[in-house]
Every structure is written in structure tokens, then in C-alpha cells.
Amino acid sequence: MSQNSKICWTHATWNPATGCTKLSPGCHNCYAAPMAKRLKAMGQPNYRNGFQVTCHPAMLSVPLKWRKPRLIFANSMSDLLHDEVPESFIQEVFAVMAEARQHTFQVLTKRAERMAALAPRLPWPKNVWMGVTVENADYVHRIDLLRTVPAAVRFLSIEPLLGPIPNLDLNGIGWVVVGGESGPGARPMDPEWVRDIRDQCLAAKVPFLFKQWGGTRKRKAGKVLDGRIWDEMPVYVPLMNLE
């Protein structure tokens, strides 16, 4: 849990579940796995199982205690739709998000099939955004599954971008985030892949956010694309301000 996230497209993170398993090429250099290992070594109780999938019922009430409205990335250290997270627990997480209506929650998954299967049995309040990761053209089918979900905002995390994705169908998509991989062993990203996705977003009038060029020195590489910062967001209006 962090009340002040360094992720540029959110304000805070909340992890009612932790741990995951690798599913597709975008997982190869997962940031969360080594972070979980470090937190376990530091004695952080929520990471006593390292990166094994673990639910934390005590964390469910955390957003209810944050009175100031904020964007919250739910499960930044896991995938809420992982097969090892019980459906009953996912329902509890969604119930909390529905109750904490002063916030806007961003849920991101690579497990689009389970997302679509569970969607009819979950509440979908207006303060829950649902996204899927699409790291290359082999995974655009996740977008079709996302379109079946009745979220107020459906978004794409194209990070790390590992190949060109031409002919994106952005119908029903409200936001696109693109970024290069960073850290040791980061795989290269062609600037033309980024420009093509940006141009498709511009043509479809979909907000586009470019997070980073990435690489082994991501701070130096920055996030300027063709002379400007692309940091567009969906309209964010807190449903309730309790201050």
C-alpha cells in the first residue's frame, strides 16, 4: 500500500492481494517479483510468502480510511483476476471499491478471459476503471474481451510495448497508456511503434499517455515524444468529496 505512488498515471496503490505467475511475454521482466523478494527480506508481513499469490483480508478496508479523493491502482503487486484469487475475494474487493465512492479505482489484468467470465457477477460502479495489458499484436484479443465488461472507463496498458500493434480497434476504449520496458535486461522499443499507436489514438479521439522510453537508464531517457509530454487522461471527476 502506498498513499503516494510514483506511477505517473495514478495517485496511490492498494494491494489487497499480492503475488502472481508469469503469463505472457510482458511478464518476463516483471518489476513486482523482485520487489516482493526485497519486501520479504525486509520482514514486511504481507510478503511473508514472497511472490506467491496471497490474499490479505486486513487490507480490504484501507481505501475506506482515505478521505481525500484519489486515483488508486488496485493490486499493483499482483493480478486481481489471477486464478488463485478466489472469486469471493474478488467480489469483496469490488464491494469495497463500490463503497469507497470518493475514489476512482484502476484495475489492470492480463487475464482477460477470467475478467470477462466474472464480469456479470461483479458490481461495476462508475468509479471503477478496467484495463488489460496488450504488449504486442499477439494479445489484441484481450481488447475484445475488455469490450464486454461494463466498466465506466475501459483502458489499455501497452507496457512494455514489445512490437508494433497496427490496426488497433479502439472502439469502446477510453484511454491508452504506452511505455517502454525499463531496468536490467530491458527489451528495446522502436519509436515508430509508439508514434503509430499515438496516431491511432489521435484519429480515434482516445486519450493517450506516454509513460516512458524505458531502457536501463529510464530517467535519462525520459518521456518526451516528438517534442512534448503526452499525458492525456480520461475525465476524472471524484464522485464524492468528503473533506
Domain spans of the chain, in order of start: 12-229
- The pLDDT assigned to 3 comes to 60
**What is the rounded CA–CA span in Å between residue 144 and residue 139?**
10
Per-residue pLDDT of the chain (243 residues; tens, 9 = 90+): 456 777 888 999 999 999 999 999 999 999 999 999 999 999 999 999 999 999 999 999 999 999 999 999 999 999 999 999 999 999 999 999 999 999 999 999 999 999 999 999 999 999 999 999 999 999 999 999 999 999 999 999 999 999 999 999 999 999 999 999 988 889 999 999 999 999 999 999 999 999 999 877 778 888 999 999 999 999 754 443 322
Nearest residue to 1 via CA among 19, 18, 20: 18
10 Å CB burial of residue 167 (0-12, 13-18, 19+) is exposed
Q: Mapping DSSP to helix (H, G, I), strand (E, B) and coil, where does residue 225 land?
A: strand
Q: What's the pLDDT at 2?
A: 56
Q: What is the pLDDT of residue 242?
A: 27
The per-residue pLDDT for 218 is 78
In Å, what is the CA distance from 50 to each residue of 30, 97, 109? 14, 26, 20
Kindly give the pairing relationship between strand 175-179 and strand 17-18.
unpaired
Residue 8 is predicted with a pLDDT of 86
Which residue's entry shows cell 521482466? 29
The alpha-carbon radius of gyration of the chain (Å, integer) is 17
Which residues are CB-contacts of 227 (< 8 A; sequence separation ≥ 6)? Answer: none
Look at residue 222 in the predicted model and tell me its pLDDT.
86
